[in-house]
Amino acid sequence: MIRRTRATTIAEVAQHAGVSPATVSRVMNDRFLGEPKIADRVRASARELEYSPNHLARSFALGQTNAIGFLVPDLANPSFQAVLSGLSKAAGEEGYRVLVADSAESADDEPLLAAEIRRRCDALVLCAPRMAEDALVRATETLGPVVLMNRSSSSVTAPTLSVDSRGGFEALARHLHSLGHRRLAYVEGPAGVANEKRLRGLADFQESAKGITVERVPGGAGSEHGLTAVGPLLRTRATAVLAFNDLVAVGLVHGLVERGVSVPGDMSVTGFDDIPFARFMSPSLTTASVPHEVLGALAWGRMRALIEGSTPDHDVVFQPRLEVRRSTAAPRE
């Protein structure tokens, strides 16, 4: 066997075997349709010269990387981490890797990031709840195969997996109403579809419940936004508050307790998502539970169908499950 101090090129294998470089490439990629003895000769030359194919170049040549992209607005959010966990486990079982891009809550950056990560993989799981509708349509049409998560749209043909946050918020408001709360507040999330759906859920509740007020308080998507919202929240004189998500609720509870406000004695607090910490904080958080890891696994199932050219399963809209815990109680007399 020849010992070499540098990597063997495909041209050298071709010269050694007496064939063209294109023939070597086809044999190495299992696409050679000629005489078996020629393929055997090429493989023998490759072994003799210790030729190692460039797998990255091969991936691009075949148009296949065995990787899929996952675009999220904030990977620090445990909800998106759970989706990634489910997606990575399911894809990994079939030899695929997941490349992650984080838009840092910038909806304006999402189309560019989606295009950038798509160039490095075979398909894209797009979790962009705040991307503008026209940009979403363009992304699903030009970057396919695409599976859309945390968002449903009648304008796109990509498979979608979403959560009925509108119904989930109505259920949370009804729970607070059943405890006797009549003056509620909502600490809003970032502007976009997700926030609008929660507002619609609260509007649905108000249409059927008389004598209810719901004050809107500016917020965001992280715990620091909940902490900042405590002052404006207390000025509403609400007895219960619905937070955009669990992270905001964590910030609210922390800020309220720091100011001597008892939760739930003086103020009931609800979240949305049911992140792992929600069960273990003090008090444990009443929230709407979403099976994020299951969503990730289902996203891979639909993605695999698209990659293979088969028909993916139907779209799914999950109904959140109300989880009543210790952060909500009847208001003081």
The whole-chain average pLDDT of the chain stands at 90
Q: Residue 321 forms beta bridges with which residues?
A: 289
Structural domain includes residue 332? no
CB atoms within 10 A of CB 310: 8
Phi, psi of 134 (to 5 degrees): -65, -40
Say whether pLDDT at 59 is over 50. no
The CATH number that applies at residue 200 is 3.40.50.2300
Residue 2 lies in a domain: no
Residue 327 falls within a domain, yes or no? no
Alpha-helix residue ranges (DSSP H) falling in the chain: 10-17, 21-28, 36-48, 55-62, 78-92, 110-118, 133-142, 165-179, 193-208, 223-228, 230-235, 246-258, 277-280, 292-308
Q: Does residue 57 register a pLDDT over 60?
A: no
Q: Is residue 17 part of a domain?
A: yes
Instruction: Tell me the residue range of the domain where 22 lies.
Output: 10-62
132-191: pLDDT as tens digits? 888 888 888 888 899 999 887 788 889 999 999 999 999 999 999 999 999 999 999 998
DSSP letter (8 states) at residue 314: P
Any residues with CB less than 8 A from the CB of 227 and at least 6 apart, and which? 251, 252, 254, 255
Residue 325 forms part of a structural domain: no
217 & 305 share domain: no
Let me know whether 195 and 278 are in one domain.
Answer: yes
Provide the CATH number for the domain around residue 29. 1.10.260.40
First to last CA, the chain: 90
Domain check: are 153 and 108 in the same one? yes
Question: What's the helix, strand, coil split of the chain in %, to 5?
Answer: 45, 15, 40
Question: Which two three-digit tokens encode residue 1?
Answer: 């066997």
Residue 228 lies in a domain: yes
Are 233 and 277 part of one and the same domain? yes
Residue 41: inside a domain: yes
Cis peptide before 283 (omega within 30 of 0): yes
- The answer on 285 and 211 residing in a single domain is yes
Asked if residue 277 and residue 172 are part of one domain, the reply reads: yes
Helices (runs of H) and strands (runs of E) counted in the chain: 14, 12
pLDDT at 13: 87
Query: Does one domain contain both 172 and 281?
Result: yes
93 and 144: one domain? yes
Total domains present in the chain: 3
258 or 29: which leads in pLDDT:
258
